[in-house]
A and B are shown apart, each in its own frame.
Chain A
Amino acid sequence: MANPAPTPAMESFQTVRTADANANPARLKADGVNVFYGEKQALFDVSIDIPEKSVSAFIGPSGCGKSTFLRCINRMNDSIEGCRVTGDITLDGENLYDARLDVVELRARIGMVFQKPNPFPKSIFENVAYGPKIHGLARDKTDLEEIVVSSLKKAGLFEEVKDRLHAPGTGLSGGQQQRLCIARAIAVGPEVILMDEPCSALDPIATAIIEELIDELRENYTIVIVTHSMQQAARVSQKTAFFHLGKLIEEGPTEGIFTNPREKRTQDYITGRIG
């Protein structure tokens, strides 16, 4: 935000929005977000409200900017050289790009799960305990153990690993590793969990388990998921946003997007004509 913004390309372009009367109130809001990688603009004027305690899916062809937008929400783009973000993203009215905001605290509130499972080369226990330890969430050892066990339970992994908590996390199967990463994210008690194509490296069975898990997690967490798979978006999300060439083309209740898209490009993508 400190950088002077090049004038964003403001063509006559308007996101098509469908209101959802049943949606939960939104605490996470984006307004007019532009992202630049050096001279190249990757996102154009994206505005969207993310309803709390539900699953929002970002879909679109490769390179459409959906992952870029996701990474703006917990400021993971900060570490990319030459990346600039303009516009507002607010959580409970607090601007995430405020210079006074502590990125470290922000990321404890907005957790992230990546495309490829990336457990640390440590034991299963240490993987989950990593966040609580660095944020000082546990008073003592029993407290820490409780956090680890309950996080593993919430991620649906505890029954499978309870006998080998001190075995290396990298020794688990792909799907288990991804659930370990979800447990790791849950352990710091975030409000929002961002998932960047969490199932694209997994087989169908592991994918089904993760999707079921996502559905359970929305009771307590606001979840934003980026996915390549339209079926997955249709299965797990309540709200869907379609991105194309860096623009948010259409957003609305998932059912509406898939059964009755109002924008031609959305329809083309859903029916497989582009992408």
Chain B
Amino acid sequence: MLGYLVLAIIVFSLAAFYVGRSAGNRFVAVEGAATHSLPGYHGAFVAIWVGVPALVLVLLWLLFQETVIDGLLLAGLPAGAIDGLSAAQTRLLLSEIKNVAGGRMFGTPSEMVLEAAQTYLRWQGIAGWAMIVVAVAIMLIGGFLAYTRLAPRFRARHGVERFVTAFMIFCSAAAILTTLGIIVSLVYESLQFFAMVPAHEFFFGLNWEPQIPIRDDQVAGAGAFGAVPVFLGTLLIATIAMIIAIPVGIFSAIYLVEYADKNVRNFIKPILEILAGVPTVVYGFFAVLTVAPAIRQAGNLLGLSTSPNSALAAGLVMGIMVIPFISSLSDDALRAVPRSLRDGSLAMGATRGETITKVLVPAALPGIMGGVLLAFSRAIGETMIVVMAAGLIATMTINPLDSVTTVTVQIVTLLIGDTAFDSPKTLAAFALGLVLFVVTLCLNVVALTIVRKYREQYD
């Protein structure tokens, strides 16, 4: 039914477009170039007024229909039926009514429920038809109003433009609202966590053993929620990654910009960009199956004790993963340095190397820094590689050959399997997520500010 309605809206809009356009054609035929807008704009204007309000109405209707019907149902129940019921029990009653209405019966429902189910079906039918009637009415009214406004000097062009602007604002608002929603939900759950575990324990505690029992019959540890080892592990792996990625990324960018001839560049640049397109899960098993055993063997040869899931393996592979971030942003930054500076330095008798280290890199440094910070925030937020290649136990260590765990790994493990949203075990994931979010957000803001500031310098 809904599908037909949407189809009808589309058909009506198309029809409105043709009607509007033929009106426009008439204006052009009569008035010629004195007509303000092209016939197509007249058509689009009417089509927008037919289609958009109806679509918005249908969306809102679907959003609120259920709530309204629920309210009516509860109000229609015999007096006293929901007295003394908790909110959860009321919801249970409502879903029982809906199940009965849908023909899924468990046991014998009471008389009251059967009756309510009938009412529910009736309400739903009414609501469905009402929606169609209202939608069609709105389309007709909108189309009529828009059509009567059409005239040779009517500014349909600006009308359409205003609609497009509004649509663009809506699209960008959607992204912002989603971000806000994420923040609100993270903060809300985190606050619940901090109500159970004191903040100072979380931020300064040195023990992380979150696997506490969430049901009475489970056997598990007593629990400790000191997140320091987890953050330390994240930092360790990200640092290893940056030690790999910063020099490789910057030097490959310098090579591509300053030394590589066109053919080499056209060959290497796409390959570097392929690195950015490799799914992280592929990097993950590369780390587990190839890099980790190699490191372990090398460690054994040197007589070092190496854990099978070493921070080094995860960090190395993660470093390779973020190389494209650094190299491509550094590449842009170096390329943006005006040719005149390069020439100026060369004309002073500087060699290419001196020109790069003394003039180009300092001039491009803000852009390069931006790339490094973005790569770093990517590294600490990266999940798949560390889930596969790093460990689960939070060890307080900075030895890269040891196994460490990271914030993202802990979030994943805390939310897998048995979860209960009133247990600190599950809620800890949100606290970790919030901290991670804040850190990467800050890094991104700093990085973008730096990059923007530097853009202003040359443009």
Contacts and interface: CB of A to CB of B under 8 A. Distances in A.
Interface of A: 74, 76, 79, 81, 104-108, 111-112, 114, 116, 118-122, 130-131, 134-135, 181, 184-185, 188
A112 B350 CA distance: 13
Given A121-B362, A122-B362, A134 B340 contact: no
B358 interface: yes
Interface in B228-274: 261-262
A131 B348 contact: yes
A130 B338 CA distance: 18
Given A114-B340, A130-B345, 4 more contacts: A76-B343, A104-B349, A130-B350, A134-B349
24 contacts: A74-B347, A76-B343, A76-B346, A76-B347, A79-B343, A79-B346, A104-B351, A107-B347, A107-B348, A108-B349, A112-B347, A114-B343, A114-B344, A118-B338, A119-B344, A121-B341, A122-B362, A130-B348, A130-B350, A130-B358, A130-B359, A131-B349, A135-B349, A185-B347
Interface string B329-360: 00000000010111111111111001000110
A181 B354 contact: no
A135 B340 CA distance: 21
Contact of A104 (B338, B350, B359): B350
A118 B348 contact: no
A116 to B, nearest CB: 6
Contacts of B351: 104
A104 B362 CA distance: 21
B348 A111 contact: yes
Nearest to B262: A81
Contacts of A181: 344
A179 B258 CA distance: 29
B172 interface: no
Given A116-B340, A130-B358, A134-B358, A121 B363 contact: yes
B457 interface: yes
Contacts of A116: 340
Given A130-B358, A134-B354, A134-B358, A120 B344 contact: yes
A88 B21 CA distance: 72
Contacts of B457: 121
Nearest to B350: A134
Contacts of B344: 114, 118-120, 181, 184
A118 B348 CA distance: 12
B358 A111 contact: no
The B interface is mostly helix, strand or loop, or mixed, namely: helix
Report which residue of A81, A112, A116 has the largest number of chain B beta carbons within 10 angstroms of its beta carbon.
A112
A184 B261 CA distance: 31
A197 to B, nearest CB: 13
B361 to A, nearest CB: 11
B346 to A, nearest CB: 7
B369 to A, nearest CB: 15
5 tightest A-B CB contacts, nearest first: A108-B349, A107-B349, A118-B340, A112-B347, A118-B344
A76 B344 CA distance: 10
Report which residue of A76, A105, A107, A108 has the largest number of chain B beta carbons within 10 angstroms of its beta carbon.
A107
A110 B343 CA distance: 14
A184 B358 CA distance: 15
Nearest to B360: A120
Nearest to A184: B348
A134 B349 CA distance: 8
Contacts of B342: 79
Contacts of B338: 118
Given A118-B343, A121-B457, A185 B348 contact: yes
A120 B340 contact: no
Contacts of B358: 130, 134
B359 A111 contact: no
Contacts of A112: 347
A138 to B, nearest CB: 15
Interface string B39-83: 000000000000000000000000000000000000000000000
A74 B349 CA distance: 9
Contacts of B359: 120, 130
A113 to B, nearest CB: 8
A76 to B, nearest CB: 6
A178 to B, nearest CB: 12
Contacts of A185: 347-348
Contacts of A188: 348-349
A119 B344 CA distance: 8
A222 B263 CA distance: 41
Report which residue of B262, B343, B347, B351 has the largest number of chain A beta carbons within 10 angstroms of its beta carbon.
B347
A114 B344 CA distance: 8
A116 B350 CA distance: 19
A147 to B, nearest CB: 13
Nearest to B261: A81
A131 B355 CA distance: 11
A107 B347 CA distance: 6
Contacts of B349: 104-108, 131, 134-135, 188
Nearest to A102: B349
A131 to B, nearest CB: 5
B390 to A, nearest CB: 41
B352 to A, nearest CB: 9
Contacts of A107: 346-349
A82 B50 CA distance: 61
Contacts of A118: 338, 340-341, 343-344
B348 A108 contact: yes
A185 B351 CA distance: 16
Contacts of B262: 81
A88 B32 CA distance: 69
Contact of A120 (B261, B341, B346): B341
A259 to B, nearest CB: 35
B256 to A, nearest CB: 15
Contacts of B350: 104, 130-131, 134
A185 B347 CA distance: 9
A104 B353 CA distance: 12
A119 B338 CA distance: 11
Report which residue of B261, B262, B348 has the largest number of chain A beta carbons within 10 angstroms of its beta carbon.
B348
Nearest to A133: B358
A76 B346 CA distance: 8
Contacts of B362: 121-122
B381 to A, nearest CB: 33
A227 to B, nearest CB: 18
Contacts of A76: 343, 346-347
A181 B261 CA distance: 30
